[in-house]
């Protein structure tokens, strides 16, 4: 389980290792939809694996896009599970944390 | 030449500084057309239905004449054409008016039409009309409309729009603290519970 090093910079890219794979992750704030999105690109081959995944609460974010990357959860650190508030423009990496789990990992 | 119905009809136009008016020696016919269009929409069964009506531009067809010389025994008004060849002058003037595409006002025996343009000019020449300009002119109303310009305030730049792409290079994720682990576990369990309650349909 890894907490992704996200920030609220509205258009940001970085490279990180998840499991044994290096990914280039780009996060963007979508003003019109008021939602953060993330791109996952294989950093070695430059192949896009998933683009514009909405970072929302209460779901495995990668499930519909690219499950082999793993599981991705957005967590509202300021509220209980059922009462979370979606990430605003200044919330990513602060109130909202995004956690990655390996495909076969079960949280303890 | 046919008997004229009037000689007092006038065409007027121009701005305050260049106002003009014209009348012709004889006006034989003034045809007025006022039309309203009813819009129809066909329906699949039954007949067409009408949902609107609007007025089409008014149309005039005027047949008039101007002689080379003034009509004998008739005093011309101040708007009549003058010159050694009044018929030629009238023809040149009508052509200028047609090509100018500028609306002007027409007074007929029926009504006053403040904004008309010439859409057709027909001139008949034969032995009978050798010494006069005998013409038929079609006029059509120009309907003026205006548009309103509304200035919207400039859309404020969004945080994303003003920000350049930031490349933070290589970054490492961190091990989540206990609070995060608990929340992730709850999320995971909730998803598992939802999955069971839905009978596994979503997997």
Q: What is the pLDDT along chain A (108 residues), one digit of tens a residue?
A: 899 999 999 999 999 999 889 999 999 999 889 999 999 999 999 999 999 999 998 888 888 888 888 889 899 988 876 778 899 999 999 999 999 998 888 776
User: B18 and B12 in contact (C-beta within 8 Å)?
Assistant: no
How many beta-carbon contacts under 8 Å exist across A and B?
A: 98
Q: Do B176 and A3 touch (CB under 8 A)?
A: yes
- Is A47's Cβ below 8 Å from some Cβ in B? no
- Asked if the model's pLDDT at residue B21 lies above 90, the reply is no
Q: Do A5 and B172 touch (CB under 8 A)?
A: yes
- Is A59's Cβ below 8 Å from some Cβ in B? yes
Is residue B99 exposed (0-12), middle (13-18) or buried (19+ Cβ within 10 Å)? exposed
- Asked if the model's pLDDT at residue B17 lies above 90, the reply is no
- Per-residue pLDDT band for B7 (boundaries 50, 70, 90) equals very low
The whole-number pLDDT of residue B75 equals 67
As a whole-number percent, the residues of chain B with pLDDT over 70 amount to: 88
- Per-residue pLDDT band for B19 (boundaries 50, 70, 90) equals confident
User: B3 and B45 in contact (C-beta within 8 Å)?
Assistant: no
Provide the token pair at B199. Answer: 């009978």
User: A56 and A86 in contact (C-beta within 8 Å)?
Assistant: yes
pTM above 0.90, yes or no: no
Distance from CA of B40 to the nearest CA of A (A): 41
Q: Do B173 and A18 touch (CB under 8 A)?
A: yes
CB atoms within 10 A of CB A79: 13
Please list, in sequence order, all residues whose beta carbon lies within 8 angstroms of the beta carbon of residue A12, skipping any fewer than 6 positions away: A26, A27, B165, B166, B167, B168
Query: Which residue does chain A place closest to B169, by CA atoms?
Result: A14
Partners of residue A92 on adjacent β-strands: A96
The whole-number pLDDT of residue B15 equals 66
DSSP string of B176-200? --HHHHHHHHHHHHHHHHHHHHTTT
- Asked if the model's pLDDT at residue B4 lies above 70, the reply is no
The whole-number pLDDT of residue B202 equals 47
Is residue B143 exposed (0-12), middle (13-18) or buried (19+ Cβ within 10 Å)? exposed
Partners of residue A11 on adjacent β-strands: A28
**pLDDT tens digits along A23-32:** 999 999 998 8
User: B62 and B6 in contact (C-beta within 8 Å)?
Assistant: no
- Asked if the model's pLDDT at residue B8 lies above 70, the reply is no
User: B54 and B36 in contact (C-beta within 8 Å)?
Assistant: yes
- Is A88's Cβ below 8 Å from some Cβ in B? no
The whole-number pLDDT of residue B133 equals 92
CB atoms within 10 A of CB B5: 15
In A, which residues are within 8 Å of B164 by CB distance? 11
The whole-number pLDDT of residue A83 equals 78
């Amino acid at each position: 389980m890894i907490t992704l090093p996200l920030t609220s910079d509205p258009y940001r890219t970085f490279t990180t290792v998840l499991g044994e794979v290096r990914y280039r992750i780009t996060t963007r704030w979508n003003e019109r939809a008021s939602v953060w999105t993330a791109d996952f690109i294989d950093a070695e081959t430059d192949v896009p694996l998933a683009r514009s995944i909405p970072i929302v609460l209460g779901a495995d974010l990668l499930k519909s896009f690219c499950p082999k990357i793993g599981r991705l959860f957005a967590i509202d650190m300021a509220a209980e599970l059922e009462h979370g508030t979606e990430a605003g423009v200044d919330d990513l990496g602060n109130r909202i944390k995004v956690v990655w789990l390996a495909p076969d990992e079960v949280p303890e | 030449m046919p008997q004229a119905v009037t000689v007092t009809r006038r065409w007027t136009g121009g701005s305050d500084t260049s106002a003009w008016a014209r009348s012709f020696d004889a006006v034989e016919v003034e045809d007025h057309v006022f039309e309203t269009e009813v819009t129809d929409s066909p329906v699949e069964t039954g007949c067409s239905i009408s949902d609107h009506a609007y007025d089409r531009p008014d149309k005039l067809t005027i047949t008039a004449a101007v002689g080379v010389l003034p009509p004998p025994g008739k005093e011309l008004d101040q708007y009549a054409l003058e010159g050694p060849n009044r018929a030629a002058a009238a023809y040149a003037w009508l052509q200028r008016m047609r090509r100018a595409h500028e609306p002007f006002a027409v007074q007929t025996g029926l009504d006053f039409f403040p904004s008309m343009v010439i859409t057709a000019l027909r001139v008949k020449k034969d032995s009978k009309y050798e010494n006069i300009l005998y013409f038929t002119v079609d006029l059509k109303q120009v309907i003026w409309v205006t548009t309103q310009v509304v200035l919207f305030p400039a859309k404020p730049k969004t945080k994303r729009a003003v920000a350049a792409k930031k490349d933070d290079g290589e970054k490492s994720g961190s091990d989540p603290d206990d609070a995060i682990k608990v929340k992730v576990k709850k999320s995971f369990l909730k998803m598992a519970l939802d999955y069971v309650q839905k009978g596994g349909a979503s997997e």
